[in-house]
Amino acid sequence: MLQYRPEDTIAHRLDPRAKLAAQIAFVATAYAYTTPEGLAALTFVALATLFAAGTGPLHTLYGFRFALPFLVVAPIVAGVTVGPPWFSMGDAFVTGLASYRVLLVLLVSAAYVRSTSIRESRAAIQRTVPGRPGQLLGVGVAVTARSLPPLRRELLAARRAMRARLGENRSLRERMGLLAVGGVSRALSRADRLALGLRARCFSWNPTLPALLFSPVDYLLTLGSVVVVAFVLVDNSPIF
């Protein structure tokens, strides 16, 4: 599963706020220039981002293996028409570019997740968004990031238990229903235990967060991201 790994790579040494700014610039560029040429250039950027975070594209794609079928099927579904010609290559091509755009965004997001700890992400959010809204967003990100891996492990354990009890002989609808009900039940139970644990540990809205300090590289990355976003907004503005 895609998660944070403490290493000494280029991406790990960057400030999380600079990495968030770079992600915003990448997403803005991907949505503004969803063309074969634009996505080809962004592919090199996404691959460079992965290698800067100390991971490769194959490992990352395996982490997104559950989302990949939807991205592959979407162009096929978009191209199907009710009447002649029964399949529109133009619609399929446009949707295929959109699916590939989403894939590139996922790759860049995976590089951020691998190179940024949960505490650093929370610190970046709370020091960027002032007041209680920033604290609420920071807590939400931290709780969500810590809750997803255990929930995934529990669902995989439920699948293994179902197979051990010959659950594969049941219909697909029954299996999906059992997993869905079990997953929701486990998520609610974990949420109750989390709330109890937070109260028992005197949960604080303003904990001691790790120190964040911009380096010259962080300033350059943030400035470049702002310039890219500004260029995208100006270039796609109807006024110009």
What is the DSSP code string of 35-86?
Answer: SHHHHHHHHHHHHHHHHHTT--HHHHHHHTTTTHHHHHHHHHHHHB-SSTTS
**Percentage of the residues of the chain whose pLDDT score is greater than 70:** 86
Q: What is the pLDDT of residues 71-84, one digit of tens each?
A: 888 898 888 887 78
Q: What is the pLDDT of residues 192-205, one digit of tens each?
A: 777 777 667 666 65
| 85 prior amide bond cis, ω within 30 | yes
Q: What is the pLDDT of residues 182-237, one digit of tens each?
A: 777 777 777 777 777 766 766 665 666 777 888 899 999 999 999 999 988 887 75
Q: What is the pLDDT of residues 109-158, one digit of tens each?
A: 989 989 988 888 878 887 777 777 776 777 666 666 666 667 777 777 77
Identify the helix (H) or strand (E) that includes residue 106: helix 89-115
What is the DSSP code string of 178-226?
Answer: HHHHHHHHHHHHHHHHHHHHHHHTT--SS--PPP----HHHHHHHHHHH
